[in-house]
Amino acid sequence: MPLIHASDGVNWKKKHLIANPYIRIGLAFTAVVYLALALSSVEVNWVRVQEGLGRGAAFVGSFLHPDFTSRWNEIFEGILESLTMTIVSTALGILLSIPVGIGAAGNIAPFPVYFLCRSIIAVSRTFPEVIIAIFFVAMFGFGALAGMLTLTFATIGFMAKLLAEDIEDIDPVQTEAIRSTGAGFFQMLTWSVQPQVMPRLIGLSVYRLDINFRESAVIGIVGAGGIGATLNTSIDRYEYDTTAAILIVIIVIVMCAEYVSGIIRKRLQ
């Protein structure tokens, strides 16, 4: 703790977050210069914003009287499609992410396999789901199949990375114990690696289910099925009451999913 000797005795000062003063001041200076440049390049058409504020207020107000009825069929079908996409893509994604994750764990995979699996993870994690969806739509045509494959692809990168990190962190003593009984590679995986990573894997799967549902609401904007298309149409038509209804349905489902996944994760620990 830094102490400062002042004329009236010794004062105590709070510790800085960054200890090195040169880096601290340098970072602060860079931040200020960047902020000035960035803010000056933001063009805001205040007249347009003022015009839009009424529409914004109408949108916020529509949450008080959401319209579930007039487009109920579209909403119901969209949500159902989103849910089916979510379930299949999460299951398929986890299934495929397990071999990739095992291959990407440095402590049990040989280098060529490690490199290949890490590359798959990197590509899958770099591009946002929407960009991947655009390409899958171009390949497989409009609809839920393209969306399902997009989410599967994104799930592989997410799950495999975390699984690989988890496998790299396991207790090597247990692996050694199983190996010393004369177990082969797959027996080692089942009896030493699997029991150690399983609780976290299940927790992550539930979390990814949640993410996939939220993402499934978005990729419909580029034609990959799900509730996104309905949402997009309702916004384009300025039917804010329907928009609010869809958003409320999404929020409620996400809240339920989070509540259930919280219970599941607590039980596993």
Q: Minimum Å distance from CB 160 to another protein?
A: 17
Q: How far apart are CA 263 and CA 242, in angstroms?
A: 32
Longest dimension (CA), the chain: 77
Which letter does DSSP use for residue 69 in this model?
S
Among 134, 170, 178, 264, binds another protein (CB under 8 A): 134
Q: Does 217 bind another protein (CB under 8 A)?
A: yes
Q: What is the dihedral of CA 77, 71, 63, 258, to 10 degrees?
A: -10
- When binding is defined by CB under 8 A, the residue of 139, 260, 263, 268 that contacts another protein is 139
Under the binding rule (CB under 8 A), the answer on residue 23 touching another protein is yes
Q: Tell me if 49 contacts another protein by CB under 8 A.
A: yes
SS3 state of residue 5:
strand
Q: Give the shortest CB-7-to-another protein separation in angstroms.
A: 23
By CB under 8 A, residue 183 contacts another protein: no
Using an 8 Å Cβ cutoff, are 221 and 229 in contact?
Answer: yes
- Binding status of residue 106 toward another protein by CB under 8 A: no
Rounded to whole angstroms, the Cα distance separating 112 from 116 reads 6
Which x/- pattern over 243-262 shows residues binding another protein (rule: CB under 8 A)?
x---x--xx--xx--x----
The dihedral of CA 75, 131, 103, 172: what is its sign? negative
Q: How far is the CB of 110 from another protein (least distance, A)?
A: 26
Task: List the one residue from 61, 99, 106, 141 that touches another protein (CB under 8 A).
Answer: 141
Contact 104, 157 (CB under 8 A): no
User: Taking the complex as a whole, how short is the minimal distance between the CB of residue 44 and another protein, in angstroms?
Assistant: 5
Q: Among 106, 89, 93, which Cα is nearest to 166's?
A: 106
Determine the 3-state secondary structure of 106 from DSSP: coil
CB of 177 to another protein, least distance (A): 15
Q: Is residue 147 within 8 Å of residue 225, measured between CB atoms?
A: yes
Binding site for another protein (CB under 8 A): 14-15, 17-18, 23, 34, 38-39, 41-45, 48-49, 51-53, 55-56, 59, 80-81, 83-85, 87-88, 91, 126-128, 130-131, 134-135, 138-141, 143-145, 148, 195, 214-215, 217-218, 221-222, 225, 228, 231-232, 235-236, 238, 243, 247, 250-251, 254-255, 258
